[in-house]
Amino acid sequence: MSFSLFECQDGTLVVVPRGLTPPLEAYKAHGEFLHLSDACRDLYDTSLWDEISREVDRTLYKVVTREVALRIFDVPDRLRTD
């Protein structure tokens, strides 16, 4: 599965299936969102990827830390330096 990364109004980073936006639950919990990246790094078959995939399969999104986002996505420079 391919993923997309979004940043919510409260600064929360959310991973969702590529082609989708964060579901209503994420919107209600974290506010409006901005698409950051679809450029996933090749981490398939890793425990991190498996963990994210399981949660996304279950709830259609996964909240991740900045460190995780930087590990699995090519992201805009502002996310790297904030």
Mean pLDDT per 10-residue interval, the chain, length 82 residues: 92 95 95 93 78 93 93 77 59
Q: Is residue 40 part of a domain?
A: yes
CA distance 34 to 38: 12
- Bridge partners of 63, per DSSP, are 14
Residue with tokens 């996505």: 73
Please report the pLDDT score of residue 81 as a whole number.
64
Q: Is residue 12 part of a domain?
A: yes
The alpha carbon of 8 is separated from its chain's Cα centroid by a whole number of angstroms, namely 10
- Domain holding 63, by residue range, is 3-77
Q: Is residue 10 part of a domain?
A: yes
CA distance 18 to 57: 12
Please report the pLDDT score of residue 78 as a whole number.
67
Number of domains in the chain: 1
Q: Is residue 82 part of a domain?
A: no
